[in-house]
Amino acid sequence: MSGRPIKHSLTLRGHRTSVSLEDVFWKEFRRIARERGQAVNALAAEIDGKRGDIGLASAIRVFVLNNALNQQGSGS
């Protein structure tokens, strides 16, 4: 497993942007989107709208981590 970030393009509200995340975060982010019945771009746009003054990649990492911690705490 590589810890190097991988860059992917996303479209957020009609605008293209690139986000670099480690593969483990991309895989989990895609899994969460599937589980929620959302496209990856839609979930990224949701996170983008709530992220405040932190970068999008950091906001996605925190979202993925919080999701994992919440599942762990609920016994899932």
Neighbours of 39 (CB within 10 A): 13
Check residue 56 and give its pLDDT: 97
Residue 18: name the closest of 44, 42, 37, 53 by CA: 44
How far apart (Å, rounded) are the C-alpha atoms in residues 23 and 14?
A: 25
Band of pLDDT at residue 75, cut at 50, 70 and 90: low
- Note the pTM of the prediction, 2 decimals: 0.90
pLDDT computed for residue 46 by the predictor: 96
Query: Quick count: other Cβ atoms within 10 Å of Cβ 29?
Result: 22
Q: What is the pLDDT of residues 1-59, one digit of tens each?
A: 568 999 999 999 999 999 999 999 999 999 999 999 999 999 999 999 999 999 999 99
**Distances 38 to 6, 34, 45, 53, 58 between C-alpha atoms, Å:** 21, 6, 11, 24, 20
Going from the N-terminus, what domains does the chain have, and what CATH number goes with each? Answer: 5-73 (1.10.3990.20)
